[in-house]
């Protein structure tokens, strides 16, 4: 019960890593507000959490729209009386070479992956300050460290998330608000499937190549990322801020 009596907002909680974070946080005692544009998936996450005895609500939210973020945070605080933890997991996956990426794609990937995170932080701040502090966990990626072919918009956005994390950690430390990020490698999620489809690859071949790219010789499970987010959100990480936690089976250590 490492998050007992804590209220956590998790964006992008309708599937994949976000859903796993919701489930793990609920198991550890957090009361959840799940924010996503995917209503069906978000409601399914709520159902799964409640089926295991957890407490959760779903709030349909496009994090790239500040007015929706503000309303979501207000609704969360009204429902639970506080906001102690924010996990910025909502993301879009835009791939391509720089000459092929459209203006719409640039605005979409940065609007959700970077500006959306900033909006969420902005609007939870008054509640965290009122509570005497809090923990923010941004979901970045190993793509923020490395170059990948035809990944320009996505990798640029995740590099920005890492720098956003560092700057927020510096600015918010006086308010006892810690800001860290998790950097997953190859994790088996719906996003992985979209990446495979973008490349037009055979599924078994694609996953085998992803597995062989790490020391562990396998693809990760979303819960393995969720446990990293749990540590950073919990009081166990009370002296950790401004830090990227890489969860990639050793892929970027090669």
Question: Token pair of 94, please?
Answer: 């835009």
Give the Cα separation of 25 and 233 in Å (integer). Answer: 9
Q: Tell me which of 80, 119, 154, 227 is the catalytic residue.
A: 154
Tokens of residue 163, six digits? 């720098």
Residues 219 and 248: their CA atoms lie apart, in Å, by 8
Q: In whole angstroms, what is the distance from residue 240 CA to residue 181 CA?
A: 11
- Whether 154 is catalytic is yes
| Residues involved in catalysis | 154
């Amino acid at each position: 019960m490492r998050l007992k009596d804590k209220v956590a907002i998790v964006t992008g909680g309708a599937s994949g890593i976000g859903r796993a974070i919701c489930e793990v946080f609920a198991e550890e005692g957090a009361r959840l507000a799940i924010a996503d544009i995917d209503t069906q998936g978000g409601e399914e996450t709520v159902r799964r959490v409640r089926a295991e005895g957890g407490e959760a609500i779903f709030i349909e939210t496009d994090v790239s729209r500040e007015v929706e973020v503000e309303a979501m945070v207000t609704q969360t605080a009204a429902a639970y009386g506080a906001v102690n933890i924010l996990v910025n997991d909502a993301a879009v996956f835009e791939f391509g070479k720089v000459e092929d990426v459209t203006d719409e794609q640039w605005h979409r990937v940065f609007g959700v992956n970077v500006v959306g995170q900033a909006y969420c932080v902005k609007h939870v701040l008054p509640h965290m300050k009122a509570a005497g502090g809090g923990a923010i966990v941004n979901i970045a990626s190993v793509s923020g460290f490395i170059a990948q072919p035809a990944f320009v918009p996505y990798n640029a956005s995740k590099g920005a998330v890492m720098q956003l994390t560092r700057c927020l950690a510096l600015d918010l430390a006086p308010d006892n608000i810690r800001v860290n990020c998790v950097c997953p490698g190859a994790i088996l999620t719906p996003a992985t499937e979209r990446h495979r489809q973008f490349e037009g690859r055979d599924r078994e071949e694609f996953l085998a190549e992803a597995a062989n790219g790490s020391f562990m010789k396998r693809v990760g499970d979303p819960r393995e990322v969720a446990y990293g987010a749990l540590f950073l959100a919990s009081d166990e990480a009370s002296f950790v801020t401004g830090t990227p936690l890489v969860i990639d089976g050793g892929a970027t250590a090669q």
